[in-house]
Structure 1
Amino acid sequence: MTHTPVTPDDTWQLVHDEGFIDHIGPLYFRENGDAPQWVGFRAEAKHRNINGVVQGGMLMTLADRGLGRIARMAHGMNPVATVNFSYDFLGAAKIGQFVECHPKIVKETRSLVFMEGEVWAEGELIGRGHGLWKKLSKAPSTT
């Protein structure tokens, strides 16, 4: 039996998040030189939908997290909030594949960050995320 590495190589680092991502992850990020970081995960059985491929909501979560991470970085690591998000399904990810999101900033204003990103499953383009993030002055209240 061969072992499939969790990440494709050792350039990927664990995303530390004890909230929702802890339940569906782990997620990993990769520094990408001067380009935005990439975010990815190894598709496991828990990500499977009724058709036997990765659940669409998992792919959307990956894209939302990947784009939001770059929006936050553009805002000096200050909080941001998703205002609008859409996802185009172009293909499917199979269980066992490493799936990654390649986000980029399309436009930035004083209060908003317009984002898009491609989602890839081991060399195949399987989706595109598009979104708008609001730059916040402080984190939303939890009470």
Structure 2
Amino acid sequence: MSSSATDDNVSDNPPEGYVPSTTRGPYTTHNGPFYHKVTEDGFWHGVRIRQRHCNSRGITHGGMLMAFADGLLGTAVFRETKTVALTIRMNSDFLSSARPGDWLEGTARVTKATRSVVFCEAELFVGQRPVMKATGVFKLMSRHKGLDASEPAAS
């Protein structure tokens, strides 16, 4: 299914507390627009699903969900370590689908960190319904330690 003219006219209408993410890389920016918020318990990323995010069956493409989860995992690693990291491995469990118009949001957390490798997990939701769970292993790039990121969404 290709993007329609109305796809770009969709109002994102993010939930309260979300602000636009503006420091993402070109690939992620192209897939957005994305939003984020920071709470006492951590951080959240969100996106309003559009037709261009979907496969030929009208549900969010698994690759889109995986890219979104990878950004969540990378953000969790950076927030915990203040170090840029590269994805070594990511495992995904698809639990349900998201459709155009749905607000997809997710969060992630580090489960273990060593001097060179970090393990983490992410959860994606539409409302209270789980859409995907992911785990990841990231390699810390020590030469990038301490880089300043103006947003929690630096992926």
TM bucket, shorter chain: 0.7 to 0.9
Matched, 1:137 2:142: yes
Q: Where does the alignment leave 5 or more consecutive residues of structure 1 unmatched?
A: none
SS of the residue corresponding to residue 6 of structure 1 reads coil
Aligned residue in 2 for 1:111: 116
Aligned residue in 2 for 1:28: 35
Among candidates 37, 42, 49, match of residue 43 of structure 2: 37
Higher helix share: 2
Q: Tell me which stretches of 4 or more aligned residues in structure 1 moved more than 4 Å.
A: none
Q: CA deviation at 1:36?
A: 2.5
Among candidates 64, 69, 94, match of residue 70 of structure 2: 64
Among candidates 97, 101, 107, match of residue 96 of structure 1: 101
Q: CA deviation at 1:74?
A: 1.3
Q: Aligned partners of 2:31 and 2:102: how far apart in 1?
A: 15
Q: Aligned partners of 2:136 and 2:45: how far apart in 1?
A: 16
Q: Where does the alignment leave 5 or more consecutive residues of structure 2 unmatched?
A: 1-9, 145-155
Which stretch shifts more, 130-139 or 119-128?
A: 130-139
The number of equivalent residue pairs is 134
Q: Aligned partners of 2:74 and 2:42: how far apart in 1?
A: 11
Structure scoring higher RCO (CA < 8 A, sep ≥ 6) equals 2
TM value normalised by structure 2: 0.80
Matched, 1:80 2:73: no
Contact 2:69 2:122 in 1 (8 A): yes
Q: CA-to-partner distance for each residue in 1:36-89, whole Å, 9 max, x for gaps?
A: 21111100111121111111111111110011011011122x211111111110
What CA RMSD, in Å, does the superposition of the two structures yield over aligned residues? 1.5
SS of the residue corresponding to residue 76 of structure 2 reads helix
Residues 18 and 82 (structure 1 numbering): CA distance in 2 closer, same or farther, change over 3 Å? closer
Matched, 1:126 2:131: yes
Residues 4 and 124 (structure 1 numbering): CA distance in 2 closer, same or farther, change over 3 Å? farther
SS of the residue corresponding to residue 143 of structure 2 reads coil
Q: Aligned partners of 1:13 and 1:61: how far apart in 2?
A: 20
